Amino acid sequence: MDNFIAFAVVGFLAQLVDGALGMGFGVISSAVLLAQGVPPPLVSASVNAAKLPTSGTSATSHWLHGNIDWRVVRPVVVMGALGGCLGALLLTSLKGALLLWLTNLYLLAIGALVLVRAWRGRAPALVAAGRFRLIGFAGGAIEGIGGSWGPVVTTGLLGSGVPPRHAVGSSNLSEFVVSFVVFAVLTLGFHAGHWGADMEWRSLIGSVAGLVAGGVPAAIFGGRLAARVPHRPLTVAVGLLAIGIAAYRFATM
């Protein structure tokens, strides 16, 4: 019961940040589970399972508040699903340390770019769909490996000039679809014995249930927060969060 309550608190706070800024739930949840010694494939499957109801609720909230740009969603979600499949399938063969370094360097660079855009106040401009496809594929691959869609995709969209509320909302909606694909691939892998029979996923049901119980209520408010926060403060908050996540990961390596 205590474990359920603890994860419910983590889920609520993580999803509140994720719904407003487009990142945070996967990173925070994964960090907590990894700290408990849960194997990476099981962490990815658990976090993506929890994301299905939380990101679905968040996506609905963003849609109701007009935060979705379908010109962004279409290329991001298609390539994100493909990248997610690849990331999930290659999860056990990738060099974790190298991947972590590359991801952290990306977050530092894109976070700095987002802050520069906020400082200059440059008017947002929609870029070619090819850029969105690349962002979606990279985000999907990272999602399949460790459940960290938001830091890659939301910051990438902002860095490409997508308005903050549309970057956050479109990222949340796309994340829901990609999480479903990744969870399905990982579930098939577990049933096929790809990651070994010793990984007992049933032991994490309480943790996942706690994340969902705390995350769903917070997800309801995400769309409203993203729609109401002014353009520049929201952009600055996303940039700072991306840099903060990278700094935390470097410090704990």
Q: How confident is the model at residue 123 (pLDDT cuts 50, 70, 90)?
A: very low
Using left for φ > 0, alpha for ψ between -120 and 50, and beta otherwise, residue 224 falls in alpha
Q: What is the pLDDT of residues 59-90, one digit of tens each?
A: 898 999 899 999 999 999 999 999 988 887 77
The per-residue pLDDT for 124 is: 45
The per-residue pLDDT for 197 is: 45
Measured CA distances, 110 to 117, 158, 229, 243 (Å): 11, 9, 21, 8
Q: Look at 102 and 221; give whichever has higher pLDDT.
A: 221
Q: With 90 as the cut, is the pLDDT of residue 101 above it?
A: no
Q: Look at 150 and 216; give whichever has higher pLDDT.
A: 216
Q: How confident is the model at residue 121 (pLDDT cuts 50, 70, 90)?
A: low
Q: Look at 149 and 80; give whichever has higher pLDDT.
A: 80
Three-state SS for the chain is: CHHHHHHHHHHHHHHHHHHHHCCCHHHHHHHHHHHCCCCHHHHHHHHHHHHHHHHHHHHHHHHHCCCCCHHHHHHHHHHHHHHHHHHHHCCCCCCHHHHHHHHHHHHHHHHHHHHHHHHHCCCCCCCCHHHHHHHHHHHHHHHHHHCCHHHHHHHHHHHCCCCHHHHHHHHHHHHHHHHHHHHHHHHHHHHCCCCCCCCCHHHHHHHHHHHHHHHHHHHHHHHHHHHHCCHHHHHHHHHHHHHHHHHHHHHCC
What tokens does 164 get?
């903050």
Q: How confident is the model at residue 2 (pLDDT cuts 50, 70, 90)?
A: low
Q: Look at 221 and 42; give whichever has higher pLDDT.
A: 221
Q: What is the pLDDT of residues 160-191, one digit of tens each?
A: 888 888 998 999 999 899 988 888 877 776 55
Mean pLDDT of 102-115: 71
The per-residue pLDDT for 34 is: 66
Q: With 70 as the cut, is the pLDDT of residue 125 above it?
A: no
